Amino acid sequence: MHKKTFYAIDLFAGCGGLSEGFIQAGFEVISQIEMDEWACETLSTRHMYHALKKIGKEHYYHKYLRGEIFKKQLLNKFPDVYELVSHGVIKAKFGKSKLSRILEKIEKATKHYGASRFNVVIGGPPCQSYSLIGRSSNQHRMENDKRHFLYEYYLKILAYLRPDFFVFENVPGLITAEAKGKEIFLKMLDDFRNINPPYEIAPSFDEYYENPREYLLDSSDYGVPQKRKRVIFLGYKKSLLQYNKNVKDVFKNILTTTTPRHAGYTIVDAIGDMPPLKPGEGSDRWFGEYPKEALTPYQLKMRNNSPGIINFKARTHMKSDLERYRFFIEHHKNGNGAATLEDLIDQRPDLIPAHKNLSGFLDRFKVQWWYQPSSTIISHISKDGHYYIHPDLCQCRSFTVREAARCQSFPDNYLFEGPRTDQFRQVGNAVPPMLAKVIATRILKELNKIYIS
C-alpha cells in the first residue's frame, strides 16, 4: 500500500509533548508555535534530531548531547537541516504578534515541506487560569484572566487552515470550574462547532451535560507512569462522514474505551534503572552512559536511540528540607503509610515549615513511591521539589528533570534546553508523548481510510 505523508501543526506547543507523540505515530509536524524562548530552543533541538535521524546522521546529534559539537556548528554542517529547523519553530505570542505574520510564517513552512495542506491542528492555550490551585486562592481569577480567551486564536488558525481533524487539550480545571468556568467551556465547544468549515466534536456538545468527565483522559490509563488528567476533545470535519459514518463513535472510543498496551507502569518502571544521586550531584546537560541494563520494558522504550543520560542533576536542598524528606520517607518505610504535615506537626514540631497556610497544603511534601504511578508533574516543580521526593532514603532528594521527564514519557534523548528551572517548567507544562501517540495513531488510521483506501 502506498504510504502517504500527513502533516500537523502544533499551536501553543510548549516543549513539544503533543508533537512528539504525533511524530512517533508517523505524522510530519511542520510547524510549532510557541512564545517561550527556552521552549523554542528545545523544539528546535528536537527538530534537529528528527531531521538528522531521517538522513542517517543522528550520531551527530549524539555528539551534540555529549557536548562534542555546538548546535551552530552542527546546523552549519547540514544546511538542509538548518532550513527545516528555521521553518519548523515559530516564536510568537498570540495576542501580541500579528496573526497575519504568524500565518505568513506557517505558509512558508508549508511550502518548504512541499505540503499541500495540514491534516491535523493540535495544541491547547496556556492553562494557568484554569488551574484548580490558582482558583482556590482567587475565586475570580478565571473570570478576570484574559488567557482563557487565547483559544480564539486557535479557532482563527483552524478556520484558516481547514484541517481534517483537530485535537484540543487542556487541564481538568477547564471543566471542573464552577459557574463562569462552565459557561466559558460551553462557549468554547459551541465556537468550535460553528466555525467554517463546520466541525463535529467528540465527545459531542450534548454529552457534556450528561457527563462532563468524558472529556477527561488519565495518562496512567495509556501506559504513562503518572496520574495525570487532561481535558481532550477531538474535532473532525462534518464532510468526513461520507467516508466513515461511524467516525463520531470512533473518536469517542479513543477517549472512553481505548485499551492501553502497557497499563500500570509505576515509579520503579520509570526511574528504577537511574543511577543514584546525592543532592547537588549530576549534570544539567550530559551526565554519562547508562551504568546498568534496563530493568523493565518501559525503561527500554525510554532508552531507545539515546547514547546515555541527560538533564540529570539533583537540586541542592536546605538542611531542614532534607530532614523533612527523611521524615516522610521513613514514616512510610516504617509501615505507617504516607505522612502529611499533620504527622510532621505531631511528631517533629521542630521541622514545621514557615508557611502561612499549613492546613491548606497538608500534602505539600510528597514522596513518590516505587510501586505507584507518580503524582501529576506540574510546572510548580520548577520552584521546589517538595511534591516530588525520591523514594530512596539513601538519595534523600527531589526528582531531577530527567526523572520528571521519564514520568511524562519523554524519551531519554529528548534534550530540554535552558537553565534547570526552565527545564522543569517545560516538563511540567507538557502533554505526555505516549498519550499523544495513542490519539495520533487513531487519527492516522482514519486519514489512511480517507486518502488511501
Identify the pLDDT of residue 3.
75
Whole-angstrom distance, CA of residue 395 vs CA of residue 389: 10
Q: What is the CATH number of the domain that holds 380?
A: 3.90.120.10
Identify the pLDDT of residue 431.
95
Asked whether residue 2 is assigned to any structural domain, the reply reads no
Grid-cell match 533541538, residue found: 45
pTM of the model: 0.90
10-residue averages of pLDDT along the chain (453 residues)? 84 96 96 96 97 96 96 96 93 88 93 91 74 42 52 90 92 68 76 84 64 78 91 83 61 54 81 96 96 90 96 95 90 74 79 66 81 92 91 95 98 98 96 94 87 74
Q: What is the CATH number of the domain that holds 221?
A: 3.40.50.150
Identify the pLDDT of residue 405.
98
Burial class (CB in 10 A: 0-12, 13-18, 19+), 84: buried
Identify the pLDDT of residue 6.
95
Question: Which among 42, 262, 25, 213 has a CA at the least distance from the CA of 122?
Answer: 25
Range of the domain at 275: 267-420
Identify the pLDDT of residue 236.
86
Identify the pLDDT of residue 208.
58
Identify the pLDDT of residue 132.
39
Residues 416, 330 share a domain: yes
Identify the pLDDT of residue 264.
81
Is the four-CA dihedral 91, 121, 404, 413 of positive or negative sign? negative
Residues 213, 362 share a domain: no
Residues 69, 15 share a domain: yes
Whole-angstrom distance, CA of residue 40 vs CA of residue 254: 30
Residues 199, 51 share a domain: yes
Query: Which of 127, 394, 396, 407 is flagged as catalytic?
Result: 127
Residues 91, 69 share a domain: yes
Residue 219 to residues 262, 317, 318, Cα–Cα distance (Å): 12, 30, 33
Q: How many domains does the chain have?
A: 2
User: Is 127 an annotated catalytic residue?
Assistant: yes
Identify the pLDDT of residue 336.
66
Identify the pLDDT of residue 95.
81
Identify the pLDDT of residue 216.
81
Percent helix / strand / coil, the chain, rounded to 5: 50, 15, 35
Identify the pLDDT of residue 138.
45
Residues 440, 397 share a domain: no
Asked whether residue 1 is assigned to any structural domain, the reply reads no
- For 237, phi then psi, to 5°, come to -60, 140
